[in-house]
Copies of this chain bind each other. A is one copy, B any other.
Amino acid sequence: MGTHAYEGGRLNLPFVGISTFGKRPYVEDWATLDADVAIMGAPFDFGTQWRSGARFGPRAVREASTLFSFGHAGAYDHEDDATYLPASVRMVDIGDADIVHTDTERSHANIEQGVRAILQAGALPVVIGGDHSVNIPCINAFDGQGDIHILQIDAHLDFVDERHGVRHGHGNPMRRAAEKDYVTGLTQVGIRNVSSTAREGYEDARNMGSDILSVRQARALGPKGVIAHIPEGVRVYVTIDIDAFCPSIAPGTGTPSHGGFLYYDVLEMLQQLAQRHEVVGIDLVEVAPDYDPTGSTSILAAQVLLNFLGFIFHARAQT
């Protein structure tokens, strides 16, 4: 009796085949969605303030995810002695939200609609950006879904209220989230150096219930210590800006900032989180493959997402 896909049909090497996320099935008709976790791309990048190109983030992360998609029945991790994402976890790729060039509001509305479709189907939504403004419609979609706490892993605070009329750019999402009554708090980790947020933004954030930790502060606390900052029992939405990571491993992004997290810093926070909290939604944003000639950034995004999903469903299976 074969336990591995490759014993039957195809060897299905990473470089072979259509690039859906993790080479999982593509569900074009969102009305038929039936899965534990659904991946959607949000290839919107008009919200960037320096380098654009995050519109190609979803395609790049999908392609990179094939590296971790041998035809095995799940991924065995010898350090944890666990097989993550076995076939029993039903993961699908629902393609991309429709983006309308020149039109931020319409594009955001389409993203919100996609997340709502996933939530409607009872699946965990995982959105691949696109720039960080796509978090705004993602959080909008959680209206009526109960209270959530936001864990933001990012270099930048993204807490600008309004400037020159802009309220839905990639410098605004955390401010927009904090305004929601169903967002009960924010933990903002990795924040460092200069950004588009000025001193007032930091003061506002703290006043609106935010907990801000730099990379050095997070390292001093350790992964467990960081996660302990999140109130017990809350349901957590996680938004990962790839520029939270050090440009050494994530150069392919719009506004890189030196001094960022290394791989295990974030991996271990996510593993801790998965063990202690219900994770209700995820977005990973700002992968801009045109600045990623080695593929390192896309691979990081795929590796982090697949491991994080592994931790989440492993924890669910334990309970």
List residues of chain A with CB under 8 Å of any chain B CB.
Answer: 4, 6, 9-20, 26, 41, 43, 45-53, 55-56, 59, 62-63, 66-68, 70, 72-73, 75-79, 83-84, 93, 95-104, 106, 133, 157, 163-166, 168-170, 191-199, 202, 212, 214, 216-217, 246-249, 251-252, 255-259, 263-264, 267, 290-296, 299-300, 303-304, 306-307
Q: Are B16 and A98 in contact (CB under 8 A)?
A: yes
Docked CA distance A205–B195 (Å): 42
- Residues of B near A77 (CB, < 8 A) are 193-194
Docked CA distance A259–B51 (Å): 27
Interface of A is mostly: loop
Q: Are B14 and A198 in contact (CB under 8 A)?
A: no
Docked CA distance A78–B215 (Å): 12
Docked CA distance A170–B70 (Å): 14
Given A45-B52, A291-B294, check contact A19 B59 (CB 8 Å): yes
Docked CA distance A194–B67 (Å): 9
Given A194-B68, A291-B295, check contact A18 B93 (CB 8 Å): yes
Given A78-B214, A199-B83, check contact A258 B251 (CB 8 Å): no
Q: Are A258 and B299 in contact (CB under 8 A)?
A: yes
Docked CA distance A214–B76 (Å): 13
Partner of A290, one of B83, B256, B290: B290
- Residues of B near A70 (CB, < 8 A) are 49, 194-196
Q: Are A194 and B75 in contact (CB under 8 A)?
A: yes
- Residues of B near A300 (CB, < 8 A) are 247, 258
Docked CA distance A295–B133 (Å): 23
Query: Which of A199, A214, A292 has the most chain B CB atoms inside 10 A of its CB?
Result: A199
Docked CA distance A307–B192 (Å): 12
Subset of 30 A-B contacts with CB under 8 Å: A6-B164, A10-B98, A11-B98, A11-B99, A11-B166, A13-B49, A13-B50, A15-B55, A15-B59, A16-B41, A16-B97, A17-B41, A17-B96, A18-B18, A18-B62, A45-B52, A50-B66, A50-B67, A53-B290, A70-B194, A76-B197, A78-B202, A78-B212, A83-B199, A102-B104, A247-B299, A248-B248, A248-B296, A251-B296, A256-B299
- Measured CB to CB, the closest approach of chain B to A106, in angstroms, equals 6
- Residues of B near A102 (CB, < 8 A) are 46-47, 104, 133, 166, 168-169
Q: Are B256 and A101 in contact (CB under 8 A)?
A: no
Name which residue of chain B comes closest to A300, CB basis: B258
Q: Are A99 and B248 in contact (CB under 8 A)?
A: no
- Residues of B near A99 (CB, < 8 A) are 11, 13, 15-16
- Measured CB to CB, the closest approach of chain B to A146, in angstroms, equals 29
- Residues of B near A214 (CB, < 8 A) are 78-79
Docked CA distance A166–B100 (Å): 8
